[in-house]
Amino acid sequence: MLADAVVELAEFFGAHADFLNPAAAIPEPVALETCWGEPLPGRALACRPWFRIASPVEICMDDAPAPAVFEDIDVLAAPAGMLAELCARTPKLAAPEFGIVAFTGVGQTPLTRDLRDRLWDVWRVPLFEQFRGFQGELLGAECEAFAGLHFDPTLVQWEQRGGSGELLLTSLRNLRHPVWRLATGRAGRVVEDECDCGSPRPRVVWTE
């Protein structure tokens, strides 16, 4: 493969088995890693199977959880597409005490301005985007300054595809399905300036 070759998303999904690296171990469950600290000082409901199942993080694998599931939780962590469905429910679901973590990812429902506004209208709690890989590995996390998604440049590389603004993703966080320069279909830019939150890590800022 050429060093500067780009892997299109359809190619990656269409030939997923070809990207399997059998020499790499099956990824371990990951930590939720929120801005409220580790371990969380409250109860979190995570609607994805990727996380270590240990109090206070509980996993919900139901695509349509009953309203009671959302009672007395401090953090709701779910894919942006699922949050869009949950916030449209009537009667309104209970708001998490601390806030919401919205998972996005390559090929997943994006967290648009419109969706942010709808979630705010319903729950009125802080909302943080986390861009995660196919095994839940953290590829970028929005900070308390809401100035983009910080990433660890020793493990994750984001770069712009020449001229288009589309971001290409290379991750060493998932060696089971390694892929170099995956076309994400999302336009953005990488910002290296120091962030108001104090983190020295670079960040991705979506531009649409």
Q: Which residues bind Zn ion (CB under 5 A)?
A: 143, 145, 195, 197, 199
Would you tell me how many other CB atoms lie within 10 Å of the CB of residue 37?
A: 9
With the CA atoms of 17, 21, 26 and 30 taken in that order, what torsion angle do they form, in degrees rounded to the nearest 10?
-90
* Smallest distance from Zn ion to CB 110, Å: 20
> In terms of CB distance, is 135 or 199 closer to Zn ion?
199
- Assess contact for 149 and 194: CB atoms under 8 A: no
Measured from the CB atom, is 160 or 199 closer to Zn ion?
Answer: 199
Q: Minimum distance from CB of 83 to Zn ion (Å)? A: 22
CB burial class (10 A; 0-12, 13-18, 19+) of residue 72?
A: exposed
Which one, 22 or 198, has the nearer CB to Zn ion?
A: 198
CB of 204 to Zn ion, least distance (A): 11
φ, ψ for residue 150, nearest 5 deg? -70, 145
In the complex, what is the shortest distance from the CB of residue 94 to Zn ion, in angstroms, rounded to a whole number? Answer: 29
DSSP 177: S
